[in-house]
Amino acid sequence: MARNFLKLAATAAMAALMAASASAQSLIRDTEIEETLREWTNPILEVAGLNPNDVGLYIINDPSLNAFVANGQNIHIHTGLIIAAESPGQIKGVIGHETCHIACGHSVSRQRAAGVAMRPALLSIGLGILAMAAGEGGAGAALIGSSQQFAALNFFVHTRAEEATADAAAVEYLTQLGESPRGLVEFFEKFRYQEVLSDARRYPYFRAHPLASDRIRTVRQLAEDSGMMDVQPTDREVYQYQMMRAKLIGFLDTPNKVAREYPPSDQSEPARYARAIAAMQASDIETSLTLIDSLLEDEPDNPYFWELKGQVLFESGRTAESVKPHKRSLELKPGAPLLLINYARSLNARAEPGDIEAAEDALRKALIAEPDNAFAWAQLAITYEEQGRRAEAQLATAESAYSVGDIVRANRFAHFAVQSLEPGTPDYRRADDILMVTDANNPDNRDMYRRRGPGFSLTVQ
């Protein structure tokens, strides 16, 4: 019993050191923001010797300031960091730092460091258990509670050298690209006050990337030695940054906060963009559309303004009107998967002659680019159902469920699908594959089925 408790406590303590899993948080999907970050990130990945196609980039809807590498070659950036940063260079500096953690092989070494760091934590937990067994409950609880701090201190001792390496690499990557590393210095200096806060009050980024005066001095010296400190971001980069930040604030902050950040007196594009989004969020549809139309007067060929107009119309119940702006966004940004899905959703809702077939075509194109897009599969299920293609709709529903990890629902709809699909066809084989990998008898799946309760049954009537 004591051994099991020790193992569980150790696992919990180590988990507290690691960044939160992206799967446990909501991801932001937006073509404009994703393309901006990719445009900035891919050159850094290439100069670091990585293939951009092999590196995932995820935007996490979280107001805390954080960025981290997890689950292999995947960079995760919190919306809080993007909003808190004050320039494209600051975001690029962070991306460069995280890129090194991949290119420099820090994921493997950090696993080793985590194991070493847990040794004093395990000792503290063991002593705590002994104290509790001896009747000293308060002392035992204190020892167990301190185990996480012991683990964190030892983990950071082992990773401090990697942080220094990643800082230097970020400066080098940006220098090789002919860009200024000033942003990384500014980012660290802006948040250097975090070092004097208690661990609980620090942003997650600075718990995993602890600052120190000597670290900041070293980064500044490296940046100054690069000779690139005074290189300015391009007008395009500044515009991209301003629009990305305005979009996030518009969607994620309250209308009052948006009004303070972007008052009506501010008639810049980013300000009108943020206010248009905030008005949509507050169901002030006419104000939102008026602001979007003013943006389109300035930039009639901006696909993201058309996308936003389509979204406002769709979400306000004007589904038929939403088709045209979504179609226009695709004409300006052909093949963009998320824009294809938006367009298909509007077509599904309008359902005029030819709409369902056009929606199917758009969704199939989107799924070629993003075969694991659960929302696209769900929309395709609607499209198939409207055409009376029930078995294909059931398979699409199974695909949607499987994409989000709901293996129980995926298995159930795959069962429905194989009963009607023609054996030997690609759809039948796919449904059969889903049945196999989601089988309740597979040991890897038992926990998921157990959580559904003893009353759950896969019996198909």
CB burial readout 149-176, b (16+ within 10 A) else e? ebbbebbbebbeebbebbbbbbbbbbbe
Confidence tier at 199 by pLDDT (50, 70, 90): low
Q: Give dist(CA 455, CA 277) in Å, integer.
A: 45
- pLDDT of residue 182 exceeding 50: yes
Q: Which of the pair, 119 or 275, is modelled with greater confidence? A: 275
Residues 188-217: what's their mean pLDDT? 62
- pLDDT of residue 379 exceeding 50: yes
Alpha-helical regions (H) of 191-283 = 204-208, 213-225, 235-252, 255-261, 269-281
Q: Which residue, 71, 76, 74, is CA-closest to 25?
A: 76
Q: Which residue, 25, 29, 12, is CA-closest to 376?
A: 29
Q: Which residue, 425, 337, 427, is CA-closest to 381?
A: 427
Class of domain 318-388: mainly alpha
**Residue position matching structure tokens 């991949």:** 102
* N- to C-terminal Cα separation, the chain: 45
Q: Which of the pair, 117 or 165, is modelled with greater confidence? A: 165
The Cα-based distances of 284 to 129, 160, 280, 299 in angstroms read 59, 50, 6, 23
The answer to pTM > 0.95 is: no
Handedness of CA 241, 246, 247, 251 (dihedral sign): positive
Percent share of the chain, pLDDT over 70: 76
Q: Count of residues for the chain?
A: 461
- pLDDT of residue 140 exceeding 50: no
Instruction: Provide the pLDDT for residue 189.
Output: 85
The Cα-based distances of 93 to 39, 90, 167, 188 in angstroms read 14, 5, 9, 10
The Cα-based distances of 8 to 4, 5, 20, 119 in angstroms read 6, 5, 18, 14
How many helices and strands in the chain, by DSSP H and E?
A: 22, 4
Largest CA distance in the chain: 78
Judging by DSSP bridges, how do beta strands 27-28 and 74-78 pair with one another? unpaired
Cα–Cα–Cα angle for 192, 70, 377, rounded to 5 degrees: 125
Left (φ > 0), alpha (ψ -120 to 50) or beta: where does 135 sit?
Answer: left
Q: Express each pLDDT in 12-58 by its tens digit.
A: 333 333 333 444 468 899 999 999 999 999 999 999 999 999 999 99
- SS3 string of 381-415? HHHHHHCCCHHHHHHHHHHHHHHCCCHHHHHHHHH
Instruction: Provide the pLDDT for residue 195.
Output: 54
Residues 294-319: what's their mean pLDDT? 98
CB burial readout 416-443, b (16+ within 10 A) else e? bbbeebeeeeebbebbeebbeebeeeee
Percent share of the chain, pLDDT over 90: 66
Residues 70-95: what's their mean pLDDT? 94
Which strands sit side by side in the sheet containing 67-69, from one edge to the other?
Answer: 27-28, 56-60, 74-78, 67-69
Instruction: Provide the pLDDT for residue 65.
Output: 86
- pLDDT of residue 130 exceeding 80: no
**Residue position matching structure tokens 């500096």:** 93
Q: Which residue, 336, 292, 298, 295, is CA-closest to 311?
A: 292
Structure tokens at 399: 């695909």
- pLDDT of residue 208 exceeding 70: no
Strand partners, 76: 58, 68
Domain boundaries of the chain, sorted by first residue = 25-117+150-226, 318-388, 391-452
DSSP symbol at 282: T
Average pLDDT of every residue of the chain? 83
Q: Which residues contact 50 (CB under 8 A, 6 or more apart)?
A: 73, 99, 102, 103
